[in-house]
Structure 1
Amino acid sequence: MTHSNDNKEYLSLNFLENPNAVALITNSSQVTFKSLSRLVKNAANKLLNAGVSNNCNCAIISENNIDFIISVIALWKIGTVPVPLNIRLTNQELNNQIKFTDCAYVLIHKEIKSKFSFETGTTVIEIPFYDSVQPIDSDHEIELNFDKNSLILFTSGSSDKPKAVVFTFGNFHSSALQTYKLSGARQNDTWLASLPLYHIGGFMIFIRALFNRSTLLLPGPLTNESLTTFINEHNPSFISFVSTQLLRITSAKTAPNSKLKALFIGGGPIEKNMLLEAIKLGWPIIKVYGSTETCSMVSALDLRKKLIKLDSAGKAIQDNSITILGKNKGEVLIEGLSVANGYYKEESQNLINGKFHSNDYGFIDEDGYLFIEGRIDDIIISGGENINANEITNTLLENILIADVYTFGVKDKQWGQSVACAVVPAKTGLNENMIRDYLKSKIASYKIPKNIYIIKSIPKTALGKVRKEELLKMLSLY
């Protein structure tokens, strides 16, 4: 419930409003809101005893599990800002991010603690840690002021150096409300934590469940098997997938669970035929667009209602404004209460006067639908011609012999840049000549890649974004 005090808005989390309702479901247990309240208070007491104080930053290194959830809420209770870190990073990368965000304390799950070592001066606290301590008080309510920092989260860093985005509770509240209105979510719904909690797409699943006092389903490891099992056993109301996860269910001809209200699809480009196949199987899809800086989704294409403009990113969700920098096509600018105020210790050209400069290139059509044609840096300028890498990628993905593609520009002495692409075959026998012959009837000759690299897989982040630097190193181009 939201309140106002001294002209400041805040959200009150009272876990005893409905104490016997189920807050969390894991592989081995169900946790009511009453039990969650006790666990959070115990964890907060342990953190205070360890020296963690308010108005500081505290790193969390953990898989998707109940301990991650309890740690975040306990840190909020004592006024500390959580900094979830990607467990797939190298030891050095983790230490760099801990140092950059001024985290004197690190909460790390006991199951992965042995994989990492930390620099001198960092206090490491092992989780879970809440079974052997007593509650600090009988207070079951947590006040989350809208203007107070709630989280620091690193961008996925698919190509450039990751930035640390600073969120407020107001950002979370606005984003959650927008999603409820879009999807028709109710308090008795269940939300599947189907994406990593250390990415914004996963973290906002947790927020949507928590702020609505709904049930969060925690399947543990995000393998296809564990997700499928959890979906079959617990029949979630809402699921969020990226394109690689959607591909698995369409390839397996998997039908949706009976109580599913919506499957949110985002995290990058989605191939139209894949969407149509999923819809044919009965999946109630909402295609969404957003980023870390926008607190996840800011536009949506609700395909549960009608099939229209499948190539688009839909329309701006309520309370967001999306405009284009330029006359017809250009950079996508986003404004709204869910847009973060800035980056930690960094001035950036991306967040200016409340507008997020997305670095996405696109346009808005006459009906108000947003179309994303790629990243600004995906525009390849070769011999004075502007070539859209996304157009080439999408054309190649229409070929049934091709499973995955990434198109990019490389330096060229004669042309400035030339077009290159990495291709993952769907079947054996595919070669460069076959790819070029296929493209000749589809696109102009100057757009056909000069260099084609046939590889086994394209390195991507957990949210399906291409790790460009890693790919270029694989191809000996970096």
Structure 2
Amino acid sequence: MAQLLDYLNHIKNTDWLICKNSAELIQLTEKLYLEFKKYNQDLPLKIIIAERDPVRFLAAFIAACAAKSSVFICNPDWGIQEWSQVANLLQPNIALGVEIEQIKSENTPFNPPIPNSIMIPTGGSSGNIKFAIHTWDTLTASVQGFTEYFQIQTVNSFCVLPLYHVSGLMQFMRSFTTGGQLVIAPFKEIEAGHIPQINYQNFYISLVPTQLQRLFGNPQLTQWLSQFQMVMLGGAPAWEELLEKARFHQIRLAPTYGMTETASQIATLKPDDFLTGQFNSGQVLPHAKITIRHPNGDIAKANQIGNIHIQASSLTLGYYPNCWENQDSFAVDDLGFLDHAGYLHIVGRNSDKIISGGENIYPMEIEAAIRKTNLVVDVCVIGIPNKEWGQAVTALYIPNHADISPQAIKLNLQHQLSKFKVPKYWIPITNLPRNIQGKVNRQKLQQIAQEFLANSEN
């Protein structure tokens, strides 16, 4: 992996990193690499990277990979609750971008490092943070599948997504490993109209539906978006009105399907197919294979809905600290089907997971945090369809006292949860509909919530 530094020096006089200081990146990378190698004598280091600054993030990431360390990519905006989860899982040697005191735990178990690994955060069924174990090989396998699928050799990426998300990190990987150019621009700067002057016909950009919706609110940004070679759309299901608007404006949209565990997309609808009226997740990329299975395990025929199972050379090796053994395929909670032409159609999810603004949100985690405020008797969190966010996080709760307001509860949550996890809508109720086993009737709550919100708007 030391050849990463040789490659970085090889491209130092090119304009591969647009709008950022590539000389500063190279200097900082070399400095960090020497520091990591100095302490990387007996066992590989466990390094947390939670840098906000893109140059510092990339320098740390490249240096850590070159030093054959175990890299843990973390979200700098995590709250106390998330960092406490990380503390109970890791015992890092170095933490960049976060004070190491924030992640100390008295009872932290020692989990040995996994050499040459890249841990990317994802969520579990209970909302707990997990790290999908990747390597340079799994990430580059995703890049190879991408370039082969689109029949290109060089990828120029315009990145407005956080580098600590797999969708942002993979934009760097595609450009860096294919000799392409990389632009990193915070989405807020784009919304404000601060747009670099480059030839966008040669660039690929990735967005979540919420971002696309916001760009459509500005005619100038809509026209700007139409210049891109391809606009990949993922992270959450897109609604029909949004897709129709993209077609109307001749946006070269490419709806994708993928996840952290697969190092981003494993199926993509090509822009030409999208513009001719198709709407699905496209065909499976060459490095992956998707099978649809019935609950009994039998493989479904074309157009039959079932559970999605994935095989891919970009597939995670497991969840830290446990690597899978003899993992034949990865079963996800998504339901879908493959049509006769091999196009993937996603129809829903088995779990109660909420996807809002491209973020995976798990009700159990939020419900637990709300209960800890001691301001509610009971609570249930659901996702309500929302044109801007895909789904809006909604809490239906029984307050301890009639005078307890949503603002009081939210005040208690501000340091416990990330902002995107805090419910957008708060609906006080007198009781939660439960069955004899105590399971909440979420379908009934959906009806209650939608009626409440409809009446609130009238």
Normalising by the residue count of structure 2, what TM-score does the alignment of the two structures yield? 0.69
Structure 2 partner of 1:452 = 450
Would you say 1:108 and 2:130 are equivalent positions? no
Structure 1 partner of 2:75 = 86
Contact 1:174 1:338 in 2 (8 A): yes
CA distance in 2, matches of 1:186, 1:229: 29
* 3-state SS of 1:223 partner: helix
* 3-state SS of 1:44 partner: helix
* 3-state SS of 2:314 partner: coil
Q: Deviations over 1:281-313 (max 9, x none)?
A: 232111110011011000011133454564421
Q: Output the amino acid matched with 2:133.
A: V
Q: Output the amino acid matched with 2:253.
A: I
Would you say 1:298 and 2:298 are equivalent positions? no
Q: Deviations over 1:378-434 (max 9, x none)?
A: 59xxxxxxxxxxxxx999769xxx986459998643898351466xxxxxxxxxxxx
RMSD between superposed Cα atoms in Å: 3.9
Cα 1:347/1:178, change in 2 over 3 Å: closer
CA distance in 1, matches of 2:273, 2:224: 17
Q: Output the amino acid matched with 1:167.
A: H
CA distance in 2, matches of 1:67, 1:282: 36
Correspondence for 1:368 among 342, 345, 348? 342
Structure 2 partner of 1:413 = 435
How many correspondences in the alignment? 370
Would you say 1:212 and 2:178 are equivalent positions? yes
Cα 1:407/1:264, change in 2 over 3 Å: same
* 3-state SS of 1:290 partner: strand
1:250-399 superposed matches below 5 A:
250-253=216-219, 254-256=222-224, 260-307=228-275, 310-326=278-294, 327=300, 328-346=304-322, 353-378=327-352
Structure 2 partner of 1:140 = none
Structure 1 partner of 2:16 = 23
Structure 1 partner of 2:135 = 168
* 3-state SS of 2:93 partner: strand
Q: Can you give the 5+ residue segments of structure 2 that lack an aligned partner in the other structure?
A: 107-113, 295-299, 354-381, 397-431
Cα 1:417/1:454, change in 2 over 3 Å: closer
Contact 2:292 2:305 in 1 (8 A): yes
Cα 1:63/1:421, change in 2 over 3 Å: farther
Cα 1:358/1:411, change in 2 over 3 Å: farther
Would you say 1:151 and 2:140 are equivalent positions? no
Correspondence for 1:249 among 169, 194, 215? 215
Contact 1:420 1:452 in 2 (8 A): no
Q: Deviations over 1:208-240 (max 9, x none)?
A: 111112222122x43264685235567471110
State percent identity of aligned pairs: 21
Contact 1:301 1:314 in 2 (8 A): yes
Structure 2 partner of 1:179 = 146
Contact 2:25 2:55 in 1 (8 A): no
User: By percentage of residues, which structure has more helix?
Assistant: 2
Contact 1:191 1:217 in 2 (8 A): yes
CA distance in 1, matches of 2:93, 2:228: 42
**How far off is 1:356 after superposition?**
1.2
Contact 2:54 2:184 in 1 (8 A): yes
Contact 2:5 2:66 in 1 (8 A): no
Structure 2 partner of 1:199 = 165
Would you say 1:71 and 2:60 are equivalent positions? yes
Structure 1 partner of 2:7 = 14
Normalising by the residue count of structure 1, what TM-score does the alignment of the two structures yield? 0.67
Cα 1:118/1:405, change in 2 over 3 Å: closer
* 3-state SS of 1:332 partner: strand
Q: Deviations over 1:101-143 (max 9, x none)?
A: 332221116xxx69x734279xxxxxxxxxxxxxxxxxxxxxx
Cα 1:317/1:291, change in 2 over 3 Å: same
CA distance in 2, matches of 1:371, 1:70: 38
Contact 2:209 2:390 in 1 (8 A): no
CA distance in 1, matches of 2:5, 2:34: 20
CA distance in 2, matches of 1:251, 1:197: 25
Structure 2 partner of 1:432 = none
User: By percentage of residues, which structure has more strand?
Assistant: 1
Would you say 1:42 and 2:27 are equivalent positions? no
Structure 2 partner of 1:476 = none
Q: Deviations over 1:52-77 (max 9, x none)?
A: 87623210111151000000111112
CA distance in 1, matches of 2:310, 2:212: 27
Q: Output the amino acid matched with 1:119.
A: K
Which has the higher mean CA deviation after the structures are superposed, 199-208 or 149-158?
149-158
Contact 2:210 2:390 in 1 (8 A): no
